[in-house]
Structure 1
Amino acid sequence: MADSQTLRITGMTCANCSARIERKLGKAPGISQVSVNLATEMARIQYDSSVTSLDTIRQTIRDIGYDSAIPESGTGASDSGLKRQQTEVFLSLILTAPFILAMMLMAVEWMTGYHVHAAMWFDQSIWPFLLATPIQFYFGRHFYRQAWAATLQKTADMNTLVALGTSAAYFLSLYLYLTGDAHHYFESSAMVISLVLLGKYLEKRSKLQTRTLIQSLAALSIKSARVIRDGTERTIPVADLLSGDVFVVLPGETIPADGVVQQGTITTDESMLTGESLPMTRQPGDKIFSGTLVTDGRLMAKASSVGEQTVLAGIIRAVEAAQGKKAAVQAMADRVSAVFVPVVLVIAAGTFTGWYFFTEAPLRDALLHAVAVLVISCPCALGLATPVALMVSLGSAARHGILIQNPDALDLLRSSRSLVFDKTGTLTTGKPTVSRFDDPTDSLSRYGSDLMTILGQSTHPLSQAIHRYLSEKTFVPASIPIDALDNRPGAGFSVLSGLNRWDVGSGDLVSDESGTTGTPGETVVHVALNRTRLFSFWLHDPLKPEAAGTITKLSQRNLNIHILSGDRQEVVSARASEAGLPHVQATGNLKPDEKAAHIQRLKESGGVVMAGDGINDAPALASATVSIAMSTGADLAITTSDISILNGRLSLIPMVFDLADRTHRTIRQNLFFAFLYNSLGIPLAAAGLLAPWIAGAAMALSSVSVVSNALRLRKF
């Protein structure tokens, strides 16, 4: 049986760590897929529970040298270890402070010629040894532990570099001290470890800042709910709330579950959930969602989805899953990191050999230059360059109501040549109204209630619009049997009720010998009973207010923009004209499979982005290079599309393209900086121009700089 589990991994320090876990787990029996993300410190594992178990998987991770835990939903990586890490960094820096002070006093002596006795006394005393030893073996124990674990796995990583480099400096200094040499380099090992620890602490704190979106979404979940059971209102833990319970929410309180309004007209703030900044009015019969705030009115609603089944929980899972995925652009950095550390070890050995055997440099200088190479060469920045930028980008998008479920979509957007829109519910409001009605046999009074029941079997916006129209004429659904339902995508649907057959749809489904047609911009829906047309309804679905402006912005990107619809060609052309598109780029009368075939033809000229409702356009969305599903108001849902726009706002589509550009630019900047750092740092260290402690500071700064650059995407 296939299972999937997300684990929080602690102890990873560079891309080689995540790669080692992936390789080890990937070879374990029963595991079909594993992806470890350094930035989120999460591993997503798919395994066969009949072959292996979660306990076995976690033990394998421990054997590699790392710890794992099952994260609580919505919390992301825990910051429980951050305070402990902060304490260790603080104590390490306190022990390192005398070295720094002594170096400053020596610098004063060198610049002024004034002899500073305190600096000389400290340098020749036992204090450097006493201070450096706990730093090396207590605060630096993590490096030794992880380096040894890497050695057992016949690999090497950042910990190997730091452990080897600082050990060389420490034991050289110890030898010099024990043999009575006045010069030693305890400050090098102590300062490198302290600065690397400081850098890792700042890096982790910065990475935690990238998870604020998940934390803010999780904070929307409340702890208690006010329910009505047995006629009595009581407060219960939200975990005890059941589907079907009737709950009450007062102004200023948060809705505890997804449901349907039973009583009360309320105003809600859904900004944190969908990015919609305007207050929304909800009336009896409307859907409401967990995590939204009631700003006005008293709500009584019936719960339809609770706990992990709510839309809010689904959004949290989707964002966490997307942030845990590895984008294709990260593959190059992972491949480089995999061979980087062994190459560095060779360079460090060459540095020592060159200085010691081919120059007049003493042993201590040759060793310190090799130490500087080891310390400055950590590929941490390279491993973080891509995943941290993607992580922040996905969080920023979700804050605006844009749920990016496939991180690769951001890169694919930039290379796409065509953008395809569905019409109904995407470019239009999706809330059509009946503008005209034809009843040639004067049968509405007889069949109106039956028709309401028939229309209630369909969720299509046109069926719902006619249903509302009949409701306004005071018809109520009749109690007639529904024996069979046959949906005809792109044409309509048929219902068998007793001995009667009802057909609702276009001329493809309902024969219309009268030749009734709609005016350009109107859609015609025919209703037939036992193959005889009873009614025709003309409906008008206006464009969304932002449609024309959105088309204009997207056209400036040199995208070929198309409208594909199952509606009549005249209607589609009219909407295209209103939106500012030439008629030649608007195609109607298409069935779902014909839309998909049209997209396949467009893909011959480059990538295709498709924006649709995520349900009726499933085949076309699946055919596109990048699929964008538009969810609106009461139809809010998490789909399997690459990108979901949770509030249905067209204006967010240009924003998605802009975010793709900024994310790509940030990743390129990070990768450029990471490569430049190592390209310059290693030669300078090998040339003897960088002291080990400076190399340690530079290494720490490189990782923090990459994360800080990615954090700028939070302002998007």
Structure 2
Amino acid sequence: MSKAAKVESSCSCCSDQDITKTADSCCSEEETEKGENEEEEGTDASASCCSSETQQEVTDSSCCSGEAQQEVTASSCCSSETQHEATASSCCSTAESNNDMQDNKEEKQHIVEYTIQGMDCPSCAATIEKGLRKTTGIQSVQVSYGTGKMTVGAEEASIHNQIPKQVQKLGFEAEPLHATKNMETYQIDGMDCGSCAMTIEKHLSKNPNVQDVSVNFSTGKMQVDHTTDPKEIVKEVQRAGFDASLDTSEQQTDQEPKKKKVGTSTTTLSGIFLGLGFLGSFTSISPAVITALYAVAILIGGFKPVKSAFYAIKSGSLDMNVLMASAAVGAALIGEWFEGAMVVWLFALGNTLQNRSIERTRESIKSLVNLTPSEATVRSGEQLIRKAVEEVAIDDVIVVKPGEKIPLDGEILAGSSSINQAPITGESLPVDKQQEDTVYAGTINESGSLDIRVTKLVEDTTIAKIIHLVEEAQEKKAPSQAFVDRFASIYTPIVFALALSVMVVPPLFGLGTWGEWLYKGLALLVVACPCALVISTPVSIVSAIGNAAKNGVLIKGGTFLEKAGVVQAIAFDKTGTLTEGKPKVAEVLSVKHDRDELIAIARTIEAYSTHPIAQAITTYAEERAIDMKEGEAFQAIAGKGAQATIDGVEYFAGNPALFNELNVSLHEIEERLDSLQKNGNTLVVVGTRTEVLGIIAVADTIRPITVQAIQALKGIGMNEMVMLTGDNDGTAKKIASETGVDRHFADLLPEDKVTVIKQLQDEGKRVAMIGDGINDAPALATADLGIAMGGAGTDTAMETADIVLMADNLEKLPHTIRLSRKALNIIKQNVWFSLLTKLAALALIFPGILTLWMAVLSDTGAAILVILNSMRLLRQK
């Protein structure tokens, strides 16, 4: 590049045409910004702001003349014949004004940050940037592949409504990072199959006020992120040929019976006219009358499918309604009125049975909603007042009598009782509760009367969170479902095109009559709809997740349901998972004093410690009514134990290493120490600076259900069970032998547990990790499947894990694995049955064996059988 060219690029503040302009118009805001950018890159900013007849001849640094170049301010840096005619400040903007201009430009931009999903490599970021820069109104785009974030500056805030859709067209997903969403849930009525959901999605996505929409046929619900009135959303759904209502219990109660009544009457009326026409064909009734009866049957039964078909075509979808409407109209056009009427009636009847069947799968969530009572008895002074649960505030005191359901989460202030927590945790036996214990909404008070202080509002209770998370889980697509949807989206248009070819091509070559091939093409249209295939996976997943929720297991989506079904190894955290997590005194060995005296000294030393081992010793002493002594100078010795002064003598309680440091001989008890450690005990040695008084052995007890759960897992063919622990190898061996796990890894830090998980994965196993959802977070995240235990007591576990066992034990883990495996088997059965049914129907069309009504029967019948097969998961014990 020549020197003149360099100057032109860097000092292009005024073009040749601008020479006649006054000095104060020499620099545009755009060029000033360019100058600032060049200043950041190391070039002279002032050099880009020159007004000179000889502009192309000067060098980059010649904008400011002579030796005074270093001394003059930016505002006087002009080399021009007209420089003296204008004020110094008018030739070029000062650095300060440049900054002001840049700030003003940034203020004009509406900047929003987004998270981007789907980027595989840095070139994806470049693709998004290039694609969005072409959009009118977007001023700046910056995508970071490393952080998965994008920053967009736009002229108007409304432009950001289009960003997610533009990014989606490029093959990625964008979601505003800090934008507030107006996400609402609607109940959809009138969907006949999975493709109806796609029709609604496509229709609503064209509305500029809708940012995101997701319709789930299995749950009958629609999630919409929009910036308009809910009534407008309802109208849009109605325009697509369906009915929608905000998902509230009142609306569902009022509307559902009405919807069912209308659906049943049209199917029945259509059937009556079809029956009259069919019977009339065996009498001397005029053929015109019989045709009219069939036509009325088609009009009554086909009104809704035709209406839905119209909106499906308008939205660019080829759903079941389009195919059935085409078949019915085509049959009428070629004079096959009976076939057309039969197609319509069988389709309506099939949809009625199908909707009633799938409603059974949706009942799993409704049964959870009905667990909690709608009213609570609130104590107000000496009075008891009945209030709606929505009106009860935090810290209100509610009274729950024996046999009643607890209406809200809370803490027991007075009374004790046995609580049936099965609705939340799935536990088979009631749990004893007393003062200060936590109780959950929806559980049943079986015996004593309780005064409970409310700790959570009705929308924040544990059962409310479970319902919310289960609904979210049922709406998430599993990998197999996503594959089937992609397959169906390709399969349907291909078969539709094939059907049109069958109608047109053979008659053109004289291979048969137009009517004959048109009929076969219509039958092929009916067979084309992959309705049974599309619903084969989601209905199974909804049923399985609903079953799990009722049994105290929260599965966070179809993906995790499928992963649980293929897990080959399970890694258990020891403390709090296989064991109680609460150490207890296992043995007391006195050397110098009697047993009670030794325990009294140990209790005194440990009195002010919160360490679990110290609390175990204190609890042991309290249970035996052994009082502590008068002590002073209490002190914790980090990582080794504690000390206190009793009657002027210093006493110590700690591990053997502490006494080795004090130079106290342990020779007399060395064999006993080794024996206790090998049996899995943690040792607390008690003594003074000169002698050992005794040993207290503390051990973590195995949960009663642990051995049973592990045996059940082995019974269902789980390949390998591994225990991970930070304890010593002796303790690990003892727990491993008592619980029946196959392998154990001891002396592990949190990062070591991650290494073990990776080692198991490197061995070719799909690994599930079970912990408390908090302490073992790295290992849970590394495993193929993270399972948290005790979700009813920890919100964190409910939010972070893939699967949550609501009870604080492993009782439901075997059920979860069995349920997941059965769900996978049923999904495979459904998919193969759907495909084989289609292939058989296709093979029977061309010999002329398959009639139109048989094609409809094969399609709707297959869909109903798939749903009924999936519903077996609801009854899995």
Q: TM-score, normalised by structure 2?
A: 0.67
CA distance in 2, matches of 1:492, 1:158: 73
Which of the numbers 736, 759, 767 marks the counterpart of 1:601?
A: 759
- Residue type at the aligned position of 1:589: D
The answer to whether the 8 Å contact 2:441/2:461 transfers is yes
CA distance in 1, matches of 2:266, 2:232: 32
The answer to whether the 8 Å contact 2:462/2:792 transfers is no
Q: Pick which of 312-321 and 32-41 moved more.
A: 32-41
Offset of residue 436 of structure 1: 5.5
Deviations 1:317-364 (A, max 9, x none): 121111111101112211121123322222222322356445675443
Who is 1:657 aligned against? Answer: 817
Which of the numbers 550, 557, 562 marks the counterpart of 2:722?
A: 562
Q: Pick which of 342-351 and 634-643 moved more.
A: 634-643
Who is 1:166 aligned against? Answer: 328
661 and 462 in structure 1: CA distance in 2 versus 1, 3 angstrom threshold: farther
* 1:82 maps onto 2:263 in alignment: no
RMSD of aligned Cα (Å): 3.9
DSSP 3-state at the match of 2:741 = coil
CA distance in 2, matches of 1:33, 1:564: 43
Greater RCO, CA 8 A, separation 6+: 1
* 1:142 maps onto 2:304 in alignment: yes
Deviations 1:469-522 (A, max 9, x none): 57656999xxxxxxxxxxx9xx8999xxxxxxxxx9999999986788863322
Who is 1:586 aligned against? Answer: 744
712 and 172 in structure 1: CA distance in 2 versus 1, 3 angstrom threshold: same
* 1:383 maps onto 2:383 in alignment: no
Offset of residue 615 of structure 1: 2.4
Who is 2:426 aligned against? Answer: 275
Q: Pick which of 353-362 and 224-233 moved more.
A: 353-362
Who is 2:153 aligned against? Answer: none
The answer to whether the 8 Å contact 1:369/1:687 transfers is no
Which of the numbers 822, 827, 847 marks the counterpart of 1:667?
A: 827
- Residue type at the aligned position of 1:143: P
CA distance in 2, matches of 1:63, 1:410: 36
Alignment of 1:511-660 (within 5 A): 519=677, 520-523=679-682, 538-555=697-714, 557=717, 559-581=719-741, 585-605=743-763, 606-631=765-790, 638-660=798-820
467 and 79 in structure 1: CA distance in 2 versus 1, 3 angstrom threshold: farther
DSSP 3-state at the match of 1:430 = strand
607 and 201 in structure 1: CA distance in 2 versus 1, 3 angstrom threshold: same
Alignment of 1:315-326 (within 5 A): 315-326=466-477
Deviations 1:120-161 (A, max 9, x none): 425x142431x3334333431222222222222233221111
The answer to whether the 8 Å contact 1:76/1:215 transfers is no
DSSP 3-state at the match of 2:473 = helix
Who is 1:690 aligned against? Answer: 850
* 1:681 maps onto 2:841 in alignment: yes
DSSP 3-state at the match of 2:436 = coil
Offset of residue 468 of structure 1: 4.5
Which of the numbers 316, 320, 342 marks the counterpart of 1:191?
A: 342
The answer to whether the 8 Å contact 2:427/2:811 transfers is no
* 1:70 maps onto 2:232 in alignment: no
91 and 649 in structure 1: CA distance in 2 versus 1, 3 angstrom threshold: farther
Deviations 1:613-647 (A, max 9, x none): 22222222122110111117766963421111122
* Structure 1: segments with no counterpart, 5+ residues: 107-115, 174-184, 456-460, 477-487, 495-503, 528-533
Who is 2:59 aligned against? Answer: none
- Identical columns (%): 30
Which of the numbers 16, 24, 35 marks the counterpart of 2:195?
A: 16
463 and 444 in structure 1: CA distance in 2 versus 1, 3 angstrom threshold: closer
CA distance in 2, matches of 1:492, 1:144: 80
Which of the numbers 207, 211, 215 marks the counterpart of 1:36?
A: 215
Deviations 1:451-480 (A, max 9, x none): 4xx56xxxxx7676567457656999xxxx
Who is 2:277 aligned against? Answer: 99
DSSP 3-state at the match of 1:140 = helix
Alignment of 1:89-238 (within 5 A): 89-102=267-280, 116=282, 118=283, 120-121=284-285, 124-129=287-292, 131-173=293-335, 185-238=336-389
Who is 1:251 aligned against? Answer: 402
CA distance in 2, matches of 1:206, 1:511: 73
Which of the numbers 514, 519, 534 marks the counterpart of 1:368?
A: 519
Offset of residue 73 of structure 1: 7.0
The answer to whether the 8 Å contact 2:354/2:867 transfers is yes
DSSP 3-state at the match of 1:521 = coil
The answer to whether the 8 Å contact 1:370/1:686 transfers is no
- Residue type at the aligned position of 1:615: I
Who is 2:594 aligned against? Answer: none
The answer to whether the 8 Å contact 1:9/1:68 transfers is yes
* Structure 2: segments with no counterpart, 5+ residues: 1-178, 591-596, 629-637, 643-652, 667-672, 687-692
Offset of residue 715 of structure 1: 2.1
- Residue type at the aligned position of 1:101: L
The answer to whether the 8 Å contact 2:600/2:627 transfers is no
536 and 128 in structure 1: CA distance in 2 versus 1, 3 angstrom threshold: farther
Deviations 1:2-51 (A, max 9, x none): 43443333343333333344456668778776543221122345x5x7x7
The answer to whether the 8 Å contact 2:411/2:455 transfers is yes
Offset of residue 651 of structure 1: 3.9
The answer to whether the 8 Å contact 2:424/2:792 transfers is no
- Residue type at the aligned position of 2:268: F
- Residue type at the aligned position of 1:42: K
CA distance in 2, matches of 1:474, 1:313: 45
- Residue type at the aligned position of 2:517: A
Offset of residue 263 of structure 1: 1.7
The answer to whether the 8 Å contact 1:74/1:218 transfers is no
DSSP 3-state at the match of 1:277 = coil
Q: Pick which of 625-634 and 310-319 moved more.
A: 625-634
The answer to whether the 8 Å contact 2:192/2:355 transfers is no
The answer to whether the 8 Å contact 1:14/1:158 transfers is yes
Who is 1:305 aligned against? Answer: 456
Offset of residue 683 of structure 1: 3.1
Offset of residue 197 of structure 1: 0.8
The answer to whether the 8 Å contact 2:600/2:621 transfers is no
* 1:7 maps onto 2:186 in alignment: yes
